[in-house]
Amino acid sequence: MKKLIVFLLLLAVLQFPLTLLNPFGPTIFPVAPILNKNVTGNVDLTVEFWKNLDDVIAKVATKYAKFVVLPITTAANLYTKGIDIKLVGVHEWKVFYLVSNTDFKGLKSLKGKTVYSAHGRGQTVDVLLRYLLTKEGLIPDKDVKFAYAPPQEIVALFNSGKISFAALPEPFVTMCLSKGKIVLDFQEEWNKISNSKLGIPIAGLFVIGDISKYKNTILEVEKIFKESVSYANTHVDESLEITSKYLPIPKPILKKSLERTQFKYVSDCKDEVSKFLETMHNLYKEGIPKIPDEGFYLK
């Protein structure tokens, strides 16, 4: 009887295609196998891209789709503002680096310098870097100045020699490497702080809205998503080909950047994520005003 119900539920699931909202960016790579139908399952999963925060907030708030890939910090803020989403698993663990085109001998050498980072105050790298500087006995904003700009602009400034230090996510790091080198791996630093081995929980898969009716669907989508991530990792060139169909980033750069970006699906990562969010909240309240409660985690 139970099997029959499960079967019927699965049938019900099969009736309508499910949408997965995925960021438009390098995170296309881990879902490329789904886009290309290399990986399929018992549900018909279609991928749609979201281009910016407004776009995804509108779609998540109106329950336009059932599944969404989001940065963990953004998702936490959406959740604490009353949006009904739950974390299924994290798949992006490595992406942030500090690049420099001058002599760098540890964080101490940033004294009196300006570090450029993407977007604005409260970004993951911004918070981490400030914390690391404080541990070194430097006062952020006083000993080390911070400036924020769109990442594309930072790359242009860095490559023209106008600035010396940039804390960026991939693939922008790779775009700076003709003129500079990586001097700090933020993931390693985070692992030291948190005693984690995985790196920074950067982005993951979330389910939107009421989940009680969809237990099996969620499991099925998770299975496809997980397979897709590992397929992309084992068939790099093929998935790269598909990714560059959508992304206007030169393929060689994307390929190089993937060496420093880690996609690995981890379903059991509640401890890592909650520790990360707690730390970020304690370091900079405005960036994550409230820590999500148990309801944020599916498992």
Contact residues toward other proteins (CB under 8 A) are 53, 57-58, 61-62, 74, 77-78, 81-83, 116, 119-123, 147-150, 153, 156-157, 160, 162, 286-289
Residue nearer to other proteins on the CB measure, 35 or 70: 70
Residue nearer to other proteins on the CB measure, 186 or 231: 186
Q: Report how far residue 219's alpha carbon sits from residue 273's, in angstroms, rounded to the nearest whole number.
A: 20
Asked whether the beta carbons of 165 and 114 are under 8 A apart, the reply is yes
The least distance separating other proteins from the CB of residue 84, rounded to whole angstroms, comes to 11
The least distance separating other proteins from the CB of residue 154, rounded to whole angstroms, comes to 9
The least distance separating other proteins from the CB of residue 83, rounded to whole angstroms, comes to 7
Asked whether the beta carbons of 99 and 183 are under 8 A apart, the reply is yes
Helix (H) and strand (E) counts in the chain: 12, 11
Residue 62 neighbours by CB under 8 Å, 6+ apart: none
Extended strands (E) in 106-223: 114-118, 145-149, 165-169, 181-185, 203-208
Count Cβ atoms within 10 A of the Cβ of residue 79 and give its class: 0-12 exposed, 13-18 middle, 19 or more buried. buried
The least distance separating other proteins from the CB of residue 57, rounded to whole angstroms, comes to 5
Residue nearer to other proteins on the CB measure, 77 or 228: 77
Q: Report how far residue 241's alpha carbon sits from residue 245's, in angstroms, rounded to the nearest whole number.
A: 7
Secondary structure class of 260 (helix, strand, coil): coil
Residue nearer to other proteins on the CB measure, 120 or 295: 120
The least distance separating other proteins from the CB of residue 225, rounded to whole angstroms, comes to 24
Residue nearer to other proteins on the CB measure, 113 or 235: 113
Residue nearer to other proteins on the CB measure, 102 or 234: 102
The least distance separating other proteins from the CB of residue 161, rounded to whole angstroms, comes to 10
**Phi and psi angles of residue 235, each rounded to the nearest 5 degrees, phi first:** -120, 65
